[in-house]
Amino acid sequence: MNGVRHDDFEIVGFNGRPLVECGRALPVVRRRSDGRYCVLQLQPEGSTTGWLSEDEASSHTKAGRWTKFASPILLGRTCFSESDGRLVGQLMVVYADERLLDTADRLPRPTLYSEEHLYWRHLADYGDAIQAACGSAATIEKLMDEWASGLLKRFDAMYHFRREPAYLKRIVDFALCAARARRLRWKAYLRYAAVQDPDRVQRTFETFTHREFPDVAWEIFLNEVKGLCDVLKAVPRLETPTAPPSSPATVLPKVRGIAAVSPIHLEGAAS
């Protein structure tokens, strides 16, 4: 796959399907010279890549293994060598639902981010609510963390305004979809516990939080949750409330789905 040249390929979708309101996935590309498809993944020299025909690609899409864009995106030079145009870094697709972006005062879906152009596309068979773009893995992670930070700020403001727990859980639900950095995921889990039914907090900690942060004891986590609640209740916020998301739904099953999707890697520390 390292022999891929940017001028012979177009991005037509991504590996997997959107199970939550925000996520990232490896891009699916089509080779323009012969019309064959593959998942674009940086691999060691000498390794081989499985190429699929049009019919095989369609079967993957129908089975939910791939998600198709409404229209292709041409590969830019991001992650390609300037000298010979070959792939030298991993590209990643990011997708986001309008509801997630609207929840935090209309977070941006940028067309230029970290000096990379992002070309957004709707997803075939998913309506107009979700759009996706492709960039370097580092840029996509940075963008998702920015969205997560905005959502956590929104949670803090709404907690101070005593908004209902279902709405606050939904904000954290979205933040966990977006957050890649460990410090942001830690903050999200603390906030989720702060608005959860008391008799379910420890079970959620043991099932999800402790799996990501195995070195953190339950007592330490609980003390941090209590301290966070005291701070959020006391500190005035300047933000004003907005309308809640269109579908609050039950949050625990969604958290279960998010926790099941392991990040490619987590950066930083919990603190």
Within its chain, how far is the Cα of 189 from the centroid? 16
- Say what percent of the chain tops pLDDT 90: 63
Q: Which residues, other chains included, contact 149 with Cβ-Cβ below 8 Å and sequence gap of 6+?
A: 184
Of 182, 81, 177, 90, nearest in space to 138 by CA: 90
Tell me what the mean pLDDT of segment 70-89 comes to. 79
- Quick one: pLDDT at residue 50? 80
pLDDT tens digits along 169-196? 999 999 999 999 999 999 999 999 999 9
**Predicted confidence (pLDDT) at residue 212 exceeds the cutoff of 80:** yes
Lowest mean pLDDT among 63-72, 176-185, 216-225, 246-255: 246-255
Q: What whole-number distance in Å separates Cα of residue 61 and Cα of residue 13?
A: 9
- Quick one: pLDDT at residue 249? 39
pLDDT tens digits along 137-149? 999 999 999 999 9
Of 126, 7, 143, 149, nearest in space to 69 by CA: 126
Give the Å distances, CA to CA, from 68 to 55, 95, 124: 14, 12, 6
- Quick one: pLDDT at residue 85? 67
**Predicted confidence (pLDDT) at residue 41 exceeds the cutoff of 70:** yes
What are the residue boundaries of the structural domains of the chain, listed by start? 6-136, 145-260
pLDDT tier at 104, thresholds 50, 70, 90: confident
pLDDT tier at 235, thresholds 50, 70, 90: low
DSSP letter, residue 84: T
Tell me what the mean pLDDT of segment 230-254 comes to. 54
pLDDT tier at 5, thresholds 50, 70, 90: low
pLDDT tier at 247, thresholds 50, 70, 90: very low
- Quick one: pLDDT at residue 86? 75
pLDDT tier at 57, thresholds 50, 70, 90: very high
Q: What whole-number distance in Å separates Cα of residue 212 and Cα of residue 66?
A: 27
Q: Which two tokens stand for residue 49?
A: 């890549």
**Predicted confidence (pLDDT) at residue 27 exceeds the cutoff of 70:** yes
- Quick one: pLDDT at residue 164? 94
Q: What is the pTM of this model?
A: 0.82
